[in-house]
């Protein structure tokens, strides 16, 4: 699913109005009816108090139009206009007049002196700001937002939690609605999935207000959301007359004294992802460990007993995944550098391979085109430096991938795969996956996919999706706390099978931000 920017949504808005020969007010009515139907289906006329907080722009207009429909159906509502500007939008005013004809007069709030009383069992509809927010709300508006957040009432946001910018980082976290549910028009917004802002959204759903499909289809976006459909479109079915050679030979290089488990996890994950053959290259100490725990995996050893020093092998792997459990000993740095000097094979780099690169940035030039790097936030910081917010981080990563012609997998609650100008935001995974070895499994899956002929970008996107889905399946039987990396591997098969399940429900997503 494409994640459109605010600018693109406004454009779609304009094009739809022109093409369909409708007024902007009619489009607002469509949006308001969608909101109303969603609420009415769930509430069935229940006499719960609904407080609608509306701004003076079109987000507020949506709220006011929704209020009219709720009123017409006998709901118990109170309407407040947060009067933060005199520049009221035309369609807001049209809808305000319509509401008044029903003898409903909103309370106009122009300061934080009188905060409306809200019961914890009430419902708040948040229509204060939408995608038109262009500066941080004034202090008194922020105080009202804080009052709503503290109320414990269920908050339903129209389009986007008020106070969140659509395409830039937040300035004041105290001036953002903490939304229990967001009904977002046409497209979820990128900020729903970023670490800094994702926690303001508990759940979201898209309401299709029928913006011009032709424009939406033809428009390239900077970000895409990867769900089941997108993963399925990348998936490569197995062929009847294939043999193990068809699906490539993965080489996992890593390990050091006390950290051989990381290699076991990555190698085993590569096998479960479908790599035809898997070889592990480890220090001598790892030989019996690997041979005993993974009978399917072939093992080659370094000349050094405890760490990697002379990475040499005499076969042609399809792809090399390097770094897990490897350590950053000077001898390993030398061995890794010499390996990069000679290597011509596609690479996946993780953990200590990334740490070595961070300290020896000149090595970055030696990476073959389309190398996949899988840093967690700390490793990423070592590679690209610090960032002031998620948008700056994404910009820096884009520049980095352009400069070194590589792919970066920014690991997090919603992992984002970045290549040059584009980011792919993953939807699977859960907090139980923040556990030892989870990253090693991801490295193994991505490397194993690459071995089977997936392009680097597809292997990264699909690998991240499968890894998260395996976690979602595993957690059903383990619970968050007891999820361990080995259970992720055991669930890779079920994650593949899940690709072909027909979804029972429309897209309702729980946010995994923080």
Cβ closer to ligand LP7C6HRI: 135 or 344? 135
Residue 284 sits at φ, ψ, to 5 deg, of: -50, -40
The number of angstroms, rounded, from the C-alpha of 190 to the middle of its chain's C-alpha atoms is: 8
Cβ closer to ligand LP7C6HRI: 28 or 265? 28
User: Which residues lie below 8 Å from residue 399, measured CB to CB, with a gap of 6+?
Assistant: none
By CB under 6 A, tell whether 129 contacts ligand LP7C6HRI.
yes
Sheet containing strand 416-419, edge to edge, reads 2-3, 223-226, 422-426, 416-419, 407-410, 372-373, 347-349, 319-322, 249-253, 277-282, 298-301
Tokens of 59: 């987000």
By CB under 6 A, tell whether 159 contacts ligand LP7C6HRI.
yes
Site size toward ligand LP7C6HRI (CB under 6 A) is: 31
- Tell me how far, at minimum, the Cβ of 20 lies from ligand LP7C6HRI, in Å: 12
User: Which residues lie below 8 Å from residue 443, measured CB to CB, with a gap of 6+?
Assistant: 252, 266, 269, 321, 323, 324, 348, 350, 351, 374
455 marked as part of a ligand binding site: no
By DSSP bridging, strand 123-127 and strand 154-158 are parallel
- Residue environment code for 144-166, b if the CB has 16+ CB neighbours within 10 A, otherwise e: bbbebbebebbbbbbbbbbbbbb
432 marked as part of a ligand binding site: no
- Tell me how far, at minimum, the Cβ of 206 lies from ligand LP7C6HRI, in Å: 11
**Where are any strands of DSSP class E within 147-268?**
154-158, 181-185, 203-207, 223-226, 249-253
By CB under 6 A, tell whether 132 contacts ligand LP7C6HRI.
yes
Interacting residue with K ion among 58, 149, 151, 162 (CB under 5 A): 162
By CB under 5 A, tell whether 197 contacts K ion.
no
Cβ closer to K ion: 164 or 417? 164
Given a contact cutoff of 8 angstroms between Cβ atoms, the answer to whether 107 and 79 are in contact is: yes
Q: Which of residues 398-427 bind ligand LP7C6HRI (CB under 6 A)?
A: none
Under DSSP, is residue 181 helix (H, G, I), strand (E, B) or coil? strand
Q: Pick one of ligand LP7C6HRI, K ion, none as the site partner of residue 84 (Cβ within 5 to 8 A by kind).
A: ligand LP7C6HRI
370 marked as part of a ligand binding site: no
Cβ closer to ligand LP7C6HRI: 159 or 379? 159
By CB under 6 A, tell whether 89 contacts ligand LP7C6HRI.
yes
59 marked as part of a ligand binding site: yes
Given a contact cutoff of 8 angstroms between Cβ atoms, the answer to whether 279 and 480 are in contact is: no
Q: Pick one of K ion, ligand LP7C6HRI, none as the site partner of residue 175 (Cβ within 5 to 8 A by kind).
A: none
By CB under 6 A, tell whether 85 contacts ligand LP7C6HRI.
yes
Q: Pick one of K ion, ligand LP7C6HRI, none as the site partner of residue 438 (Cβ within 5 to 8 A by kind).
A: none
Given a contact cutoff of 8 angstroms between Cβ atoms, the answer to whether 29 and 65 are in contact is: yes
- Tell me how far, at minimum, the Cβ of 118 lies from ligand LP7C6HRI, in Å: 22
Q: Pick one of K ion, ligand LP7C6HRI, none as the site partner of residue 198 (Cβ within 5 to 8 A by kind).
A: none
- Return the sign of the alpha-carbon dihedral for residues 194, 199, 204, 208: negative
107 marked as part of a ligand binding site: no
Q: At what angle do helices 352-359 and 377-384 cross, to 10 degrees?
A: 20
Compute the distance between CA of residue 370 and CA of residue 213 in angstroms, rounded to an integer.
Answer: 33
By CB under 6 A, tell whether 31 contacts ligand LP7C6HRI.
yes
134 marked as part of a ligand binding site: yes
Binding site for AMP, by residue number, is 411-415, 439
Q: Please give the residue ranges that form the binding site for ligand LP7C6HRI (CB under 6 A).
A: 9, 13, 27-28, 31, 55, 57-62, 84-85, 87, 89, 129-138, 158-159, 185-186, 211
Q: Please give the residue ranges that form the binding site for K ion (CB under 5 A).
A: 126, 157-158, 162
């Amino acid at each position: 699913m494409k994640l459109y920017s605010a600018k693109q949504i406004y454009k779609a808005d304009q094009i739809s109005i022109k093409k369909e020969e409708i007024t902007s007010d009619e489009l607002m009515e469509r949006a308001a009816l969608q909101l109303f139907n969603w609420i009415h289906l769930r509430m069935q006329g229940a006499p719960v108090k609904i407080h609608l907080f509306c701004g003076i722009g079109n987000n507020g207009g949506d709220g006011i139009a929704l209020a009219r429909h709720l009123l017409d159906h006998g709901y118990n509502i109170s309407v407040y206009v947060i009067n933060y500007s005199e520049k009221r939008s035309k369609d807001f005013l049209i809808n305000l007049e319509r509401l008044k004809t029903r003898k409903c007069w909103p309370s106009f709030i122009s300061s934080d002196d009188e905060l409306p009383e809200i019961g914890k069992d009430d419902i708040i509809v948040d229509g204060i700001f939408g995608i038109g927010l262009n500066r941080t709300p004034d202090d008194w508006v922020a105080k009202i937002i804080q009052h709503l957040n503290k109320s414990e009432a269920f908050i339903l946001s129209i389009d986007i939690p008020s106070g969140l910018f659509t395409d830039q980082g937040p300035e004041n976290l105290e001036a953002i609605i903490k939304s229990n549910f967001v009904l977002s028009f046409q497209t979820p917004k990128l900020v729903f999935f970023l670490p800094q802002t994702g926690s303001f959204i508990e759940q979201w759903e898209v309401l299709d207000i029928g913006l011009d499909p032709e424009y939406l289809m033809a428009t390239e976006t900077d970000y895409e959301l990867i769900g089941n459909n997108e993963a399925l479109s990348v998936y490569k079915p197995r062929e009847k007359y294939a043999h193990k050679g068809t699906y490539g030979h993965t080489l996992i290089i890593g390990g050091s004294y006390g950290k051989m488990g990381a290699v076991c996890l990555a190698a085993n994950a590569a096998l479960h992802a479908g790599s035809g053959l898997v070889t592990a290259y480890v220090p001598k100490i790892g030989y019996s460990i690997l041979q005993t725990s993974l009978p399917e995996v072939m093992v080659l050893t370094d000349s050094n007993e405890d760490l990697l020093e002379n990475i040499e092998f005499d076969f042609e792997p399809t792809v090399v995944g390097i770094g897990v459990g490897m350590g950053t000993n000077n001898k390993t740095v030398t061995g890794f550098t010499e390996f990069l000097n000679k290597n011509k094979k596609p690479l996946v780099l993780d953990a200590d391979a990334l740490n070595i690169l961070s300290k020896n940035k000149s090595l970055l030039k030696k990476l073959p085109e389309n190398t996949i790097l899988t840093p967690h936030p700390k490793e990423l910081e070592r590679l690209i430096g610090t960032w002031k917010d998620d948008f700056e981080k994404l910009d820096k990563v884009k520049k980095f991938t352009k400069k070194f012609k590589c792919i970066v997998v920014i690991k997090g609650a919603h992992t984002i795969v970045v290549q040059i100008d584009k980011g792919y935001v993953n939807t699977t995974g859960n907090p139980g996956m923040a556990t030892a070895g989870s990253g090693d499994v991801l490295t193994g899956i991505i490397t194993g996919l690459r071995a089977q002929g997936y392009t680097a970008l597809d292997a990264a996107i699909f690998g991240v999706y499968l890894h998260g889905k395996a976690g979602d399946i595993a957690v059903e039987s383990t619970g968050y706390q007891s999820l361990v990396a080995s259970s992720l591997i055991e669930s890779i098969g079920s994650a593949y099978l899940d690709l072909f399940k027909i979804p029972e429900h429309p897209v309702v997503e729980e946010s995994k931000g923080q």
